[in-house]
Amino acid sequence: MDSFINCHTHIFTKDYLPPKFLPCRLVRILSRIMKRKWLAHILMWLNPFRNDDLFNRISNLLLTASLKNQKAVFGRLTRFYPEGTRFVVLSMDMDHMGAGRAKKNFRKQLLDLSSVRDEYPESCIPFVCADPRADDPLGLVTEYIEVHGYKGIKIYPPYGYFPYDPRLDEIYGYAQSNGVPVLTHCAPASFIFRGRITREMREDPLTHERLPRCRKRLAELWVHPGNYWKVLMKFPDLKICLAHFGGIPAWGDYLDGKESWFSVVMEIIREFPDVYTDVSYTVHKPEYYPLLKVVLQDSRIRSKVLYGSDYYMAEVGTSERRYAINLRGYLGEADFRQIAEANPAAFLA
């Protein structure tokens, strides 16, 4: 029996997705169309010459999101991995992303996720999402960690805020004081704030600098890894994972000798003892396996990289099982067990 830990997965279904979560109101379309495979085939046909494009990603997302409930999605995920594998399941608060009202709100998502954890107590490791715009986010976090047994905190800045927003300070303070791990999205994002950009959103919460109106440009500012210097200068002992290791474009930029978010993440990891990153989504591109292999030989980085797949948000071009086996085969047992066993155990300790 293996003791691998996948540190980055999602199991929410379409019931928790607001109508404008996806482009072209595809969530609403999905809820009205019974032949979901037909919809997926149409999406793939729109660009049949690439297997990693946005349409392919959306079609796979919709098919999995259409499963009956979170338990069904989790059950599907576990079948791709050896017996004994554990999974960090990241809840997502989409109530404040300006995309309309979902059939089931975030509170309901958490309750349903708790029932999955209760049924799979050995393999399901839930994280509670914290949004600074929610009512009493600290109260929500402490309730689900201290009462419901959640093991960590998830934040998702692309939904409309900087990670150094002062309203998150109490969350970071609680996490640092109690050794609770935090995982944050830290890469370019396809799923971003969809609502009206307000005057408050166009002002940096610390410097009060005026920011651009463009939604995509704002999202790039919200997710920039350099933001975490400000967080960590205030909370230097915070255990935090900067997910996605900078993201796919950053790895390409690094290999081409350009300025890269990949380099920024490595600098932060080297500076602070409890900062981690994960390879979810990013190394679904096998061309980046050699870079990961080389990076893992750096003793300052080796113990800080976590295995993650971003299931099911990243099922593009290959299945979850193929992704895990291909990566394990390329890295070899020692390196794979480092990122999928030793490092996750330390992150979650």
Q: Write the pLDDT tens digit of every residue in 278-296.
A: 999 999 889 999 999 999 9
33 pLDDT above the threshold of 60: no
Q: What is the pLDDT of residues 110-167, one digit of tens each?
A: 999 999 999 999 999 999 999 999 999 999 999 999 999 999 999 999 999 999 999 9
- pLDDT higher at 75 or 29: 75
Structure confidence at residue 50 as a pLDDT band (50, 70, 90): very low
Among 118, 145, 146, 147, residue whose Cα is nearest residue 129? 145
Read off the tokens for 238: 């915070």
Instruction: Supply the angle between the helices 54-65 and 70-78 in degrees, to the nearest 10.
Output: 110
Give me the amino acid identity at 150. Answer: Y
- In this prediction, residue 279 carries a pLDDT of 97
Within 10 Å of residue 143's Cβ, how many Cβ atoms?
14
- In this prediction, residue 56 carries a pLDDT of 60
Percent of the chain with pLDDT over 70: 88
For the chain, what are the domain ranges? 5-193+219-348
Q: Which CATH architecture has domain 5-193+219-348?
A: Alpha-Beta Barrel (3.20)
- In this prediction, residue 190 carries a pLDDT of 84
- pLDDT higher at 29 or 313: 313
